[in-house]
Amino acid sequence: AQSVTQPDIHITVSEGASLELRCNYSYGATPYLFWYVQSPGQGLQLLLKYFSGDTLVQGIKGFEAEFKRSQSSFNLRKPSVHWSDAAEYFCAVGADQAGTALIFGKGTTLSVSS
Amino acid sequence: NAGVTQTPKFQVLKTGQSMTLQCAQDMNHNSMYWYRQDPGMGLRLIYYSASEGTTDKGEVPNGYNVSRLNKREFSLRLESAAPSQTSVYFCASRPNSGNTIYFGEGSWLTVV
């Protein structure tokens, strides 16, 4: 079955500390992977995406993610968290096929402490 | 550059009422989608339309109907709203070539 697992429901990080959000996927086809961020009461914003090539991808707001095919993972990282990064983060997987939808994980809520 | 536009943004319904969520995209995309978002559940696919004239069920279609009116518009209808349909609804679209899915800003629906 196709699925995305985000093992951590809620993470608290001190401002200035590093961050890693985990994402594991199960997908039959070659996966295309995405990370989205959502602030309270807002829509979804695309942070970064992986289609092919370099397995370390850079995104907006200083985020990066690394695709590891052997571990079926696509973890999101940031070297130094800012208070404004507090939000909910969603990992998603899709395929290079017209019409196919994204499958989302259940999300990880990030809190930032001062 | 409107992108994906959803209306209404907020709506309160009484149990048993009907309503239609409208979605339109101006990017000439072939595929369109409706998701619902609930706390702790992420986004779940309700229905999708791979191209004009076709629609298919997603993970949670019960209680909903859709219409792909033309290439631009994809509406979601609740025929008899239930409190379990209280949720945030997102419409999205995707071009035939390219893998990025574009989302609307969401519609907050409360059924009382």
What is the tens place of the pLDDT at every residue in A27-49? 887 889 999 999 988 889 999 99
β-bridge partners, B95: none
pLDDT of residue B1: 57
pLDDT of residue A52: 86
Cis omega (within 30 of 0) on the bond before B95? Answer: no
pLDDT of residue B84: 97
Chain A residues with CB under 8 Å of a chain B CB are 4, 9, 32, 34, 42-44, 46, 49, 51, 90, 92, 94, 96, 98-107
What is the tens place of the pLDDT at every residue in A7-23? 999 999 999 999 999 99
pLDDT of residue A29: 77
What is the tens place of the pLDDT at every residue in B51-79? 898 999 999 999 999 999 899 999 999 99
CB B23 within 8 A of CB B76: yes
- Cβ contact (<8 Å) for A101 and B42? no
- Cβ contact (<8 Å) for B50 and A99? yes
Q: How far is CA B85 from CA A90, B68, B96, in A?
A: 21, 21, 31
CB A55 within 8 A of CB A68: yes
Number of H helices, E strands in chain B: 0, 11
